[in-house]
Amino acid sequence: MKRPKGFTLVELLVVISIIAILLAVLIPALNKARQQAKKVVCSSNMRQMGVALQCYLQDSETHLPDSSCHTDDPNEYWLKILTKYLKQNLLFKCPADEAKNFVDWNKSSRQQPDNARWSSFALNSLLDSNCPRYSGKYNSVKFIYKPQYCIYVSESPSSWTKEDHIHPETWGYSINTAKKYIAWDRHSNKSNYLFADGHAETLKIEDTYSWPGNCFWFPESSPGWPNDE
């Protein structure tokens, strides 16, 4: 009785080559699909922030939540406050954010490590009542020129325990400077943004901060600053 022949070395090499080619095609596609899924989850979370924000505005008579860097109580964190308006908890960490050191919510901010992060997100300080530029003038949605074009929350690479907001007024219309403070490339060279009217968008940073066309950071007149009408 003859033994069945096994694979020859050439046949094995052909099979291995085919598998390698398939992996070379499939792995990038799988990685792209994984990144897309993370972006969708983050965008959905931003939309939930928008829903919570609208509920908050009804209770606060259109006043926006302030940043919480001036309080020692973690429960006063703005994202924590918005979560109270939803049945489900908001995600404080974007799935695409690779940072690991986040706060312990059972401790006060003074007990947290200096490099612990509140979340993956940050407020636009120009809409904060503590903003020195405006003295809280634009802390209410009704005073924002076009809320649908004014960013309230962005993705941030560094919302430390003492820093949960960003200062667009210090960027000087420089995209390169702005990139230091926004997680502008977290989703394939784009990032998610929540606007003051409660809607969320996925945009390139250039689409939010070009002069004199679209400036989505300043409450006086958006897009475009100064007033373009």
Give the start-to-end residue ranges of the domains of the chain.
12-208
Q: What is the mean pLDDT of the chain?
A: 83
With beta carbons less than 8 A apart as the criterion, state whether 66 and 78 touch.
yes
State mean pLDDT over 144-151.
90
Determine the pLDDT at residue 49: 94
pTM (2 decimals)?
Answer: 0.81
Buried b (16+ CB within 10 A) or exposed e, 47-81: bbbbebbeebbeeeeebbbbbbbeeeebeebbbbb
Residue 126 in tokens: 């120009």
Q: Cis peptide leading into 223, omega within 30 of 0?
A: yes
Residue 203, classed as helix, strand or coil, is: strand
Work out the pLDDT band at 212, boundaries 50, 70, 90: low
Lowest-confidence region among 30-34, 35-39, 48-52: 30-34
pLDDT value of residue 107? 82
229 has a pLDDT exceeding 60: no
Pairwise CA distance, residues 199 & 197, whole Å: 6
**Which of 51-60, 69-78, 97-106 is least confident?**
69-78
Match 């943004």 to its residue by tokens: 193
